[in-house]
Structure 1
């Protein structure tokens, strides 16, 4: 199972880099979507919780909180996505959280 999680992590990194570099179109998105679909067929899916609210009761991510405030916490950066196998979490996400 570990190799499939590693593949999901690498695809997530490539998607983030393509988005950051504003690479769009079929050049990158189509092959990445095919890899994502192949992982889904094997029961593996991943989710990037970027922009989602954060609270200390969340069990699907491990967070590093930046800043002093603890109100209105939002996930601002995803280091590793949440990876599931047939709906069960096999890797918790690793995220950075900030107060907005």
Structure 2
């Protein structure tokens, strides 16, 4: 039996907000309603949720005033030259869209 694409193995650098902060990963929240991208403050997130908190398969409420949309998270590891990596599985993303 093979591994489904939904059960993918996430890279270590994306596993927790503490590691993403240490690795200087840029994280954005993308609103599915207004199609805007907001920068996530990893220092603040670590202080509130703790360093072991993960953004994988999480969604949040949009922080734009008056917006009722949901966000999913994108991680950008600028040193690697790899484009933004979606931290949300396809099934979760389909639910948000």
**When the two structures are superposed, what TM-score results if normalisation uses the length of structure 2?**
0.27
Structure with greater strand share of residues: 1
**Greater Cα radius of gyration, structure 1 or 2:** 1
TM-score (norm 1): 0.27
